[in-house]
Structure 1
Amino acid sequence: MTTVEQAALTGRSPGELTWRRFRRDRAGVASAVVVAFFFLVALAAPLISAVYGKDPTTTYGLDEPGLLNTYGYPVAPNGGISGRFWFGIEPTLGRDVLTQLVHGIRTSLLIATAATVLCVLTGVAIGVTAGYAGGRTDYLLGRFIDLLLAFPSQLSFIAFTPVVYALFVTPGKETPTYLRVVTLILVLWVLGWMGLARLLRGQVLSLREREFVEAAKVTGASPWRIITRELLPNLWTPILVQATLMLPSMVTIEAGLSFIGVGILEPTPDWGRMFANGAHYYESDITYIFFPGVAMIVFVVAFNLLGDSVRDAFDPRTTR
């Protein structure tokens, strides 16, 4: 038998088959490249600002005459786009749009990624525990999940965020930026893990009756070993798919909270704050909101396509 024939007969692991299916999905690969680009920009935001020579908080329009007209809008056409300001400048203050955007992406992705990781860990822990333990534990955890799901998500985010601020800041004083970031992560975490937990609970309820789990119990394996060695390897598909769909949702929620004024506030750069400022300027200068709007659309669409591609790669029976 030749080497080529032996290679053709060599078996592939499930991971290799999944990776092979994913590589064949051009939309998935392109989406992964776009998502990786956004995360790279977020990580390299300080370096980009240093190389570009601009700062996101410097008010160039107020410090240098001739950049803004008497109404506060850029004198140069297309929002002030030039060789010096690649994406233009912000009306009224004249801050650089490019550095605001890259630092805003950094802020939004930091909050969304941290909240997503916490939601996934919590959803896995509670969902697997409820499904495997069953009985009273499953009933109590199930009712707790139902209680949290009963809260309207968007209204709950808006209502609970100022309450958490008030617990740590004296009334009348400004809330520090770090506290706002931590609060947003906590609120998104507390109100965001229930869907994954309910999904995994249902998966575990069906898996715990399978032969391989019964065989592990007969051999005397501990519950921890059964969960980590038998159940979790069969749950990676829903976990990864839900995580890839959850993160862009967290980004849009965080931006929405900042847009209405209960998230990140000035002068900290943030996607939502750029949308809020752009809403005041779009009638006279639509260029300012154009770049963050396109960036948000591209990121969310790419991440959703990536989630679809990951799901298809893990389960070839599905069709998009």
Structure 2
Amino acid sequence: MTTPSLAAEDAVPARPAPAGRSPGRLMWRRFRRDRAGVVSACVVAFFFLAALAAPLISWGYGKDPYTTYGLNEGGLLNEYGYPVAPDGGVSGRFWFGIEPTLGRDVLTQLLYGIRTSLLIAAAATVLCVLTGILVGVTAGYAGGRTDYLLGRFIDLLLAFPQQLSFVAFTPVVYALFVSPGKETPTSLRVVTLIIVLWVLGWMGLARLLRGQVLSLREREFVEAARVTGASTWRIVSRELLPNLWTPILVQATLMLPAMVTAEAGLSFIGVGIVEPTPDWGRMFANGAKYYESDITYIFFPGIAMILFVVAFNLLGDSLRDAFDPRTKR
């Protein structure tokens, strides 16, 4: 027969064990609380979705970025080549208006231009991040002569003025594959831009990761892994890289909009994407010719560029705060 005290103890329900939360869940919880970060993520996702769905939107919209509506149809452009309708020809038919001189649809040009610029920038960013991780972690973990040689190589590449190097090296790469006097294919221009942005864009991340690895390799958990006989690959992949995701993600979110603006700048000065391929920078170059008489044409790509760059920078700040709760904005 049980005593009353024991019966009372048996009647008390057992408390559930506290559920642990992984670092990923904690990061996601902190990120969701940051309204600026969530809004920025939505804006960035909208741009990528619009770029991916550009052909579908163009099909549903009933227009494409190549048809010269102003030349094929009368009454859209005046004798000076500018839209007859006010506000750059904005109407229910042309939602963002039409381009002066040729009369191409601005909305489809912008969608396909964003698609081209994001494709080049995203590919270059991925290559820069992979190269920065490889070189930075190798230099920081190996140390000694390897660190010295890689460090001097990084310093050599950083000595090149980045924007001037973009302008100088891009035509050189074109000349290696295309005979003088022949037109450079668009595919070669895209590959060349990716290569140039990659070769001259990974050094900052590599130097940052080198410094991080130099401090991490002397920590107790790395020494413990060495004592247990862990291989170099296991130490790097299981001990070092998980502690480097914060600077990698933050730098990547800052690098991609910089790549977008660099690609647009190259197309603006004529060494990037050229007619008739839609491109963000080429729209700015054409808008610079028309803004005195028709500012509407450059208004939409300009606003889109500002929104994209600001949203990506805010997203990088929010990711940094979410990964490292000690940082406060």
Bin for the TM-score computed over the shorter chain: over 0.9
Which residue in the other structure is 2:69 paired with? 60
Match of 1:218 among 198, 222, 227: 227
Instruction: Tell me if 1:209 matches 2:218.
Output: yes
Alignment of 1:189-204 (within 5 A): 189-204=198-213
Deviation, structure 1 residue 100: 0.1
**Counterpart for residue 159 of structure 2:** 150
Matched residue SS, 1:28: helix
Partner residue of 1:287? Answer: 296
2:279 equivalent in structure 1: 270
State the shift of 1:171 in Å: 0.5
Cα displacement string for residues 175-233 of structure 1 (whole angstroms, at most 9, x for unaligned residues): 00000000000000000000000000000000000011011111111111110111000
Which residues of 2 match residues 1-320 of structure 1 at below 5 A? 6=16, 9-320=18-329
Identity of aligned residues (%): 86
Whichever residue aligns with residue 75 of structure 1, its letter is V
- 2:255 partner amino acid: M
> Runs of 5+ in structure 2 lacking a partner?
1-11
In 1, distance between residues paired with 2:241 and 2:64? 46
Deviations 1:257-305 (A, max 9, x none): 0000000000000000000000000000000000000000000000000
Which residue in the other structure is 2:6 paired with?
A: none
Question: 3-state DSSP class of the match of 1:73?
Answer: coil
The 1-side partners of 2:64 and 2:221 are apart by: 58
User: What CA distance in whole angstroms lies between the structure 2 residues aligned with 1:135 and 1:251?
Assistant: 37
Q: Unaligned 5+ residue runs, structure 1? A: none
Tell me the SS of whatever aligns to 2:57: helix
Cα offset for 1:6?
3.8
Detail structure 1 runs of 4+ shifted over 6 Å in the superposition: none
SS in 2 for 1:22: helix
**TM-score when normalising by structure 2:** 0.95
Distance, in Å, in 2 between the alignment partners of 1:155 and 1:224 is 38
For 1:270, give the aligned amino acid: D
Looking at structure 2, the residues matched to 192 and 253 of structure 1 have their Cα atoms a distance apart, in angstroms, of 10
Letter in 2 for 1:112: A
Task: Say what the alpha-carbon RMSD is for the aligned residues.
Answer: 1.1
String of CA shifts for 1:70-124, please: whole Å, max 9, x gaps: 0000000000011110000000000000000000000000000000000000000
Deviation at 1:10, TM superposition (A): 2.0
- CA drift of 1:242 comes to 0.3
Deviation (angstroms), 1:2: 7.1
State the SS of the aligned residue for 2:273: coil
Query: Using the alignment, how far apart are the partners of 2:16 and 2:290 within structure 1?
Result: 66
Aligned CA distance change for structure 1 residues 297 and 97 (closer, same or farther; 3 Å): same
Amino acid paired to 2:297: Y
Deviations 1:30-66 (A, max 9, x none): 0000000000000000111100000101100011110
Counterpart of 1:70 in structure 2: which amino acid? E
Q: Give the direction of change, closer, same or farther, for the CA distance of 1:85–1:316 in structure 2 (3 Å limit).
A: same
